[in-house]
Amino acid sequence: MTQEELKTCLGQLLLDLRGNWGYDYKSRLNEALNLCNLIEEDTLDVEWRIESELGGDCDGRIFRGSSFYGYVSEEGTTDEVKEWLRDVLTHPEYCEILN
């Protein structure tokens, strides 16, 4: 995936984490951490929030205000991204890109 695609996936995954921390939370946190490792821009604020969640109480509201929260770009909205989002998000029906 391109950098824009990766950032769009991360942004939409953070929205999904914020909306649902009831199930599959830790696996999605790890997926978000994997995306951070692939993104060339600074993702330290997101990584810190993920590590905090993995080490303590789970509450997806922590991602509000992070640098990639809700990120989406025209270049990053590809069929590959849409397929990835359908596979990874717990509630793809709430994702703007997929509607």
Identify the residue whose tokens are 């060339």: 40
11-26 pLDDT per residue, tens: 999 999 999 988 889 9
The per-residue pLDDT for 44 is 96
Q: How far apart are CA 72 and CA 82, in angstroms?
A: 12
- Tell me the CB-side half-sphere exposure of residue 27, using CA atoms within 13 A: 7
Q: What is the pTM of this model?
A: 0.94
The per-residue pLDDT for 21 is 85
Q: Which residues of the chain carry a pLDDT beneath 70?
A: none
Listed by start position, the domains of the chain span 3-98
The per-residue pLDDT for 91 is 95
The per-residue pLDDT for 22 is 81
In order of 47, 74, 88, the CA distances from 8 in angstroms are 16, 9, 13
